[in-house]
Amino acid sequence: MPLTHTKELFAKALKGKYALGAFNVNNMELLQAIVEACEEEKAPVMLQISKGARQYAHPVYLKKLIEAAVSLSNIPIAVHLDHGDSFELCKECIDEGFTSVMIDASHEPFEKNIEICKKVVDYAHKHNCVVEGELGMLVGAQHDDGEEGGGYSKGGCYTHPDEAVQFVKASGVDSLAVAIGNSHGAYKFKGEQHLDLERLKAIKKALMDAGLGDYPLVLHGASSVPKDLAAEINKYGGKLGEDTAGVPEADIEIARRTGCTKVNIDTDLRLAMTAAIRKVMFENPKEFDPRKYLAPARTKVKELVRHKVKNVLCCAGHAFD
C-alpha cells in the first residue's frame, strides 16, 4: 500500500469523529512499535518526523524505514514533518514526498507568522502536500531553556479564537496547532493539570462561524506522562523529578470530541522505551546484546500505542472506513 494522503485521513477522521495519533519516529524500533500497534488495532496513523529525528537518523534511513513499514502493513499511513522551522526544511520534505508538513513560526509576530506560512502553503499546495501552522505559543519546553530542573516558561501565549480565523484565512494553512495550555515534554503543569478546553471550543466555533467548516485542529504536547512509567524509570535508576505531569486522558478525550483531529504524542513513547530499557539493564547488568533491551522496549511502546488509539483517540477500527 502506498502512503495515504494526510488530507484523506483528516477528512475521514472529521467525519468519523475520532482523532489521528501523530506519533514521532526516530528509529526502527519506535516505527515498528507504532505501526504494528496500529495494524493490530486497525487504526490509521500519522508518522511524524522532526528536524532532530532527521539529524539523528538521516532522512534517507527514515524514508527507507517508512517504506518498509508501509510495504509490510495494510493500514493507511501518512508522513508529516513535525515543527518545521524554515521554508527550506519544509520544501525538502515536500520534495521527498511527505504528505503534510508543519511550519512552526509561532514565535514570530502575527503578520510574520502568516507570511512564512503562506510561502510554505504556496509551494506545498502546488506539490500535493498540506500544511499545518501554529498560532499562539505553547508554554513550557518549546520556548524555554528546556526542561532541566522543570523550568516553566511564563512566556507562552494562548490562541485567540478571532485571530485563529484571521490567521487561517490569510495564511491558507490546512490545519491549525493551538496553544491552550499545552506544552511539550514530561513536566507540563505546575499545580492543576488541565487544558483550556473552553478556549478550544471557542476556536472551533469561531472557525465554523467564519465559514471554514469543520476545520481540523491539532493538539501538540498531548502526552499524558503516566505516573507508572515515571515510577518505573525511577525504580530502575532514573532520576525524573517528582513533578512530572501530563495531559489527563479525560482532557484528550474532550479535545478529540471538540475537534482536535491530530493529536501529537512523543514523550510517552520515550518514557515507555526508557522504562523498559532501564528495567532490563537493572535486572541483567551483564547483558550487552542490544536486542535484549530493544525488543522489550519495542513491546512496551507498542502496548502504549495500542492503548492510545483504542481508548483515548478512538481511531481503532477505522483503518478501512
Q: Which of 214, 229, 223, 226 is nearest to 263 (CA)?
A: 223
Q: Does 139 bind ligand G3H (CB under 6 A)?
A: no
Looking at residue 41, the DSSP 8-state letter turns out to be: T
Q: Which of 80, 83, 188, 318 binds ligand G3H (CB under 6 A)?
A: 83
Q: Which of Zn ion, ligand 13P, ligand G3H, none is residue 53 near (CB under 5 to 8 Å by kind)?
A: ligand G3H
Q: Which of 193, 192, 194, 206 is nearest to 159 (CA)?
A: 206
Adjacent-strand bridge partners of 78: 46
CB neighbour class for 246 (10 Å; exposed up to 12, middle 13-18, buried from 19): buried
Report CA-CA distances (Å) from 315 to 16, 46, 253, 258, 297.
Answer: 9, 11, 12, 15, 24
Q: Does 133 bind ligand 13P (CB under 6 A)?
A: no
Nearer to ligand G3H, 2 or 52 (CB): 52
Q: Does 184 bind ligand G3H (CB under 6 A)?
A: yes
Half-sphere CA count of 201, side-chain side, radius 13 A: 6
Buried b / exposed e along 142-181 (16+ C-beta atoms within 10 A): bbbeebeebebeeebebbbbeebbebbeebbbbbbbbbbb
Among 11-19, 28-36, 192-200, 259-267, the segment contacting ligand 13P (CB under 6 A): 259-267
Q: Does 274 bind ligand 13P (CB under 6 A)?
A: no
* Catalytic annotation, pick one of 82, 144, 266, 268: 82
Annotated catalytic, 82? yes
Q: Determine phi and psi for 101, rounding to 5 degrees.
A: -135, 150
Q: Does 266 bind ligand 13P (CB under 6 A)?
A: yes
Half-sphere CA count of 183, side-chain side, radius 13 A: 29
Q: Which of 69, 176, 222, 309 binds ligand 13P (CB under 6 A)?
A: 222
CB of 268 vs ligand 13P, minimal distance in Å: 6
Among 1-9, 28-36, 84-92, 258-266, the segment contacting ligand 13P (CB under 6 A): 258-266
Q: Which of Zn ion, ligand 13P, ligand G3H, none is residue 265 near (CB under 5 to 8 Å by kind)?
A: ligand 13P
CB neighbour class for 227 (10 Å; exposed up to 12, middle 13-18, buried from 19): exposed
Q: Does 244 bind ligand 13P (CB under 6 A)?
A: no
Q: Which of 24, 32, 175, 224 binds ligand G3H (CB under 6 A)?
A: 24
Q: Does 312 bind ligand 13P (CB under 6 A)?
A: no
Buried b / exposed e along 78-115 (16+ C-beta atoms within 10 A): bbbbbbbbebebbbbbbeeebbbbbbbbbeeeeeebbe
Q: Which of 93, 247, 263 is nearest to 175 (CA)?
A: 263
Q: Does 264 bind ligand 13P (CB under 6 A)?
A: yes
Q: Does 184 bind ligand 13P (CB under 6 A)?
A: yes
Q: Does 268 bind ligand G3H (CB under 6 A)?
A: no
Nearer to ligand 13P, 184 or 318 (CB): 184
Residue with cell 499524558: 224
Q: Which of 30, 33, 47, 53 binds ligand G3H (CB under 6 A)?
A: 53
- Find out whether 41 and 49 touch, Cβ atoms under 8 Å: no
Q: Which of ligand G3H, ligand 13P, Zn ion, none is residue 100 near (CB under 5 to 8 Å by kind)?
A: none
Enumerate binding residues for ligand G3H (CB under 6 A): 24, 50, 52-53, 82-83, 184, 266
Footprint of ligand 13P on this chain (CB under 6 A)?
Answer: 24, 82-83, 184-185, 220-223, 264-268
Report, as residue numbers or ranges, the catalytic residues.
82
Positions touching Zn ion (CB under 5 A) are: 220, 264
